[in-house]
């Protein structure tokens, strides 16, 4: 009846008998009999270790943590800025929505216009920059790892500039992005 009311009691009973066996001394039982009991009842760590999939040590240490203020202090709210609020959100959506017709139009209409191609390349660079910037903002909080975040933002700016220069060079000195896609598609 007790096991129906307390399911943990059933799980605790074997552990209690194992603890009792381990407390017996060699003076009460001869040594070979004690070794036989130890082999018969494996330790808890050997039973669990076979089914564990996690490590005891982490691959990377946790980020630095500090508590600012007390538990009763309100969370600081950042200053509202329309350029980084609703305007930023609207700009992201316009760029994303603009990529759809610019991606389909050159192939559907059959015309390979260099102006359309350059606008497509510019929007791809801006769209990629905004997406990677959001990843950096999410994964590297400014309050916890300011130097890593600054380095990642500068690396993103350098990569965006290099991509823009490379696409400009490809557009002016070679066939262009849409023509390259057409040639790859037909190859």
Asked if 112 and 106 count as a contact pair (C-beta separation under 8 A), the reply is yes
**Global confidence as pTM:** 0.61
Alpha helices in 42-145 (DSSP H): 44-49, 86-109, 114-139
Q: End-to-end alpha-carbon separation of the chain, Å?
A: 77
Indicate the annotated binding residues. 127, 139
Task: Find tokens 């497509």 and name the residue.
Answer: 120
Indicate the annotated binding residues for a ubiquinone. 139
Closest CA to 182 of 101, 100, 97, 108: 108
Indicate the annotated binding residues for heme b. 127
pLDDT on residue 181? 87
**Cβ burial 92-110 (10 Å sphere, 16+ → b, else e):** eeebeeebeebeeebeeee
Q: Is 179 helix (H, G, I), strand (E, B) or coil?
A: helix
**Domain 84-186 CATH (choose: 3.40.50.12280, 1.20.1300.10, 3.40.228.10, 3.40.50.2300):** 1.20.1300.10
CA 109/CA 51 separation, integer angstroms: 59
Residue pLDDT tens, the chain, 187 long: 454 555 554 455 555 555 554 554 444 545 555 555 555 555 555 555 555 566 566 677 777 777 778 888 888 787 887 777 788 889 999 999 999 998 888 888 776 788 888 999 999 999 999 999 999 999 998 888 899 999 999 999 999 999 999 999 999 999 888 888 888 988 8
């Amino acid at each position: 009846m007790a096991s129906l009311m307390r399911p943990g009691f059933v799980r605790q009973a074997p552990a209690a008998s194992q603890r009792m066996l381990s407390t017996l001394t060699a003076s009460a039982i001869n040594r070979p009999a004690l070794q036989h009991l130890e082999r018969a009842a494996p330790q808890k760590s050997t039973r669990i270790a076979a089914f564990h999939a996690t490590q005891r040590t982490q691959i990377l240490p946790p980020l630095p943590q500090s508590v600012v203020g007390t538990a009763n202090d309100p969370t600081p709210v950042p200053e509202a800025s329309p350029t980084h609020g609703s305007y930023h959100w609207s700009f992201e959506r316009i760029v994303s929505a603009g990529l759809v017709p610019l991606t389909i139009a050159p192939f559907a209409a059959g015309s390979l216009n260099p102006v359309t191609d350059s606008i497509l390349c510019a929007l791809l660079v801006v769209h990629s920059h905004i997406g990677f910037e959001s990843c950096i903002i999410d994964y590297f909080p400014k309050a916890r790892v300011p130097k890593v975040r600054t380095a990642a933002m500068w690396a993103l700016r350098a990569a965006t500039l290099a991509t823009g220069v490379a696409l400009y060079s490809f557009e002016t000195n070679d066939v262009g992005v849409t023509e390259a896609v057409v040639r790859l598609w037909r190859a």
